[in-house]
Amino acid sequence: MSLVTEVTFSANGREVTVPASAEATLLQVLRLELGLTGTKEGCAEGECGACTVLVDGKPVNSCIMPALAAAGTDVRTVEGLAGPDGLLSPLQQAFVDGFAIQCGFCTPGFLMTLTALVEEDPHPDPAQIKQALSGNLCRCTGYTTIVDAVLAATGNGGRS
Amino acid sequence: MELHSADSLEEALDRLQETGGETQVLAGGTDVMIQNMRHEISPSALLYIGRLDDLRGIAHNGTVDIGPLSTHRMLATDHIVRRVLPALAEAAGSVGGWQTQEVGTVGGNLCNASPAADTAPPLLVAGTRVRLSSQSGVRELPLDEFLLDRRRTARRADELLTGIAAEPCAPGTAEAYLKLGRRSAMEVAIAGVAVRLTLDENDTAVEARVAACSVAPRPFRARATEALLQGSPLDPDSVAEAGLMLVREASPIDDGRASAAYRRRVLPDLLARTIEVCRSRLADRREE
């Protein structure tokens, strides 16, 4: 049994140890302790997906994830998507090319969920994309361009 | 508030024995973290059990033994669950989005005891028994006796939910869970109905189990509705009569999602549709 006051995990490949109170969420730790402000707080109750990050490759809502649950895991945020040379990931580039961004607030969350999807299935079809995105809300309602961008980046679901 | 992380079941049970009354058990956190932020709960300590890997996983040993830390995503995608507990897989796949399904646990869904707990109706029709462990021993009880009231279970403060054992669907038996919401994703149920149905060669219901959520203080087995369906040819009249019985067994309230009157209005149709899905699944299987 251990009384937890700090947590150690990998943030975009860099091992970090940060203080964590009982109430601390992974989102708070990422933004306030590590300055990784690419991850956004939307609803703050696990409904909108703006705060989505990958924990061991799986998308989670960091706004309701206890920080200590990230201990020992590999956490990836939108800052970790581009290559070391600054080159955008294919999904990021497709978002830019396809105007799949309006206000941009939801974009990091969408990109993280979609990164997990594409790592699970490199050629998702539109139905899979929509299903995967059911926990990501875009209030500019730019869903069509987002789905199109994923299809452009992944070869149109291996179909048309 | 203090935060403790248990490295073994023994440690967790020790902690609960000493301070169970003031301690909130924390697993995926999809309910607890929000309740904490909203000050709906104010424990003096959190006990994180997410490292107790023995409580995670799904095994088929006659019953389907589901570790309480198994996530909704695991239930929705596990090939055993999809085959022999398809209603549970459907229910788990309908909880929130991918992000919440990856961390929210089935044990948490049951212990949180929301009236709208999606995994409860399928587990109820699967005759599920739960195991509760404490320093004074282990006891098992039917899920129906575990879920007592809104946000209240039979778990004592010194106990931890350590096992969930569900009866798999037998050949000749089909089941389904249908959930009514305003949209098909990210919804808390307005009403949910699970049915497990066994038919004889004349399409008469040999056994029918029915459970519902979001229409009473707790998810419940609808025994009087079941009694009406048992031995019934499931013609429209008898299904409609069972639907009215289900309304009588329910005690819905008005809330932000729907009115009690609306819930009473839709419940018979929801039951009829769920039965229909079971029948078409049985018919498909006969054709195979």
For residue A132, the chain B residue with the least C-alpha distance is B98
Average pLDDT estimate for B56-82: 97
Predicted pLDDT of residue B182: 83
Instruction: Give me the domain span that covers residue A60.
Output: 6-80
Q: State how beta strands A74-76 and A6-11 pair.
A: parallel
In a domain, residue A1? The reply is no
Q: Which of A83, A85, A31, A68 is nearest to A53 (CA)?
A: A31
Are B123 and B64 contacting, i.e. CB atoms less than 8 angstroms apart?
no
Please report which confidence band the pLDDT of residue A157 belongs to, taking 50, 70 and 90 as the band edges. low
CATH code of the domain containing A40: 3.10.20.30
A68 close to B (CB below 8 A):
yes
Predicted pLDDT of residue B287: 78
Per-residue tokens: A143: 């869903």
Residue A29 has pLDDT above 90, yes or no: yes
Among A20, A116, A135, select the one facing B100 at the smallest CB separation.
A135
Q: Which of B32, B54, B55, B34 is nearest to B45 (CA)?
A: B32
Per-residue pLDDT of B103-118, as tens digits, reads: 999 999 999 999 999 9
CATH code of the domain containing A138: 1.10.150.120
Hey, are the CB atoms on B5 and A59 less than 8 Å from each other? no
Predicted pLDDT of residue B285: 83
Same domain, A111 and A66: no
Same domain, A76 and A97: no
Predicted pLDDT of residue A99: 95
Please report which confidence band the pLDDT of residue A2 belongs to, taking 50, 70 and 90 as the band edges. confident
State how far residue A53 is from chain B, nearest Cα, in angstroms.
Answer: 9
Q: Which residues, 6+ apart, have CB-to-CB distance to A121 below 8 Å?
A: A128
Per-residue pLDDT of A71-103, as tens digits, reads: 999 999 999 999 989 999 999 999 999 999 999
Set of chain B residues whose Cβ sits within 8 Å of the Cβ of A65 = 29, 33, 103
A77 close to B (CB below 8 A):
no
Per-residue pLDDT of B152-195, as tens digits, reads: 999 999 999 999 999 999 988 999 999 998 877 778 899 999 99
Decide which of A32, A49, A80 is a domain's last residue: A80
Per-residue pLDDT of B126-151, as tens digits, reads: 999 999 999 999 999 999 999 999 99
Residue A160 has pLDDT above 50, yes or no: no
Hey, are the CB atoms on B1 and A23 less than 8 Å from each other? yes
Decide which of A80, A105, A121 is a domain's last residue: A80
In a domain, residue A111? The reply is yes
For chain B, the domains span 173-287
CA B217 to CA A105: how far, in whole Å? 38
Per-residue pLDDT of B18-62, as tens digits, reads: 998 999 999 999 999 999 999 999 999 999 999 999 999 999 989
Number of separate domains in chain A: 2
B187 close to A (CB below 8 A):
no
- Which of A68, A77, A121, A137 to probe by mutation at the B interface, max B CB count within 10 Å? A68
Per-residue pLDDT of A99-155, as tens digits, reads: 999 999 999 999 999 999 999 999 999 999 999 999 999 999 889 999 999 999 998
In a domain, residue A38? The reply is yes
Q: Burial letters for B251-260: b for 16+ Cβ neighbours within 10 Å, e otherwise?
A: ebeeeebbee
Same domain, A150 and A94: yes
pTM of the model: 0.95
CATH number for the domain formed by residue range(s) B173-287: 3.30.390.50
Same domain, A28 and A70: yes
Same domain, A74 and A113: no
Q: Which of B207, B174, B3, B27 is nearest to B90 (CA)?
A: B174
Decide which of A49, A80, A111 is a domain's last residue: A80
For residue A71, the chain B residue with the least C-alpha distance is B51
Set of chain A residues whose Cβ sits within 8 Å of the Cβ of B45 = 22
State how far residue B221 is from chain A, nearest Cα, in angstroms.
Answer: 29
Set of chain A residues whose Cβ sits within 8 Å of the Cβ of B34 = 45-46, 64
Per-residue pLDDT of B243-260, as tens digits, reads: 999 999 999 999 999 999
CA A26 to CA B33: how far, in whole Å? 11
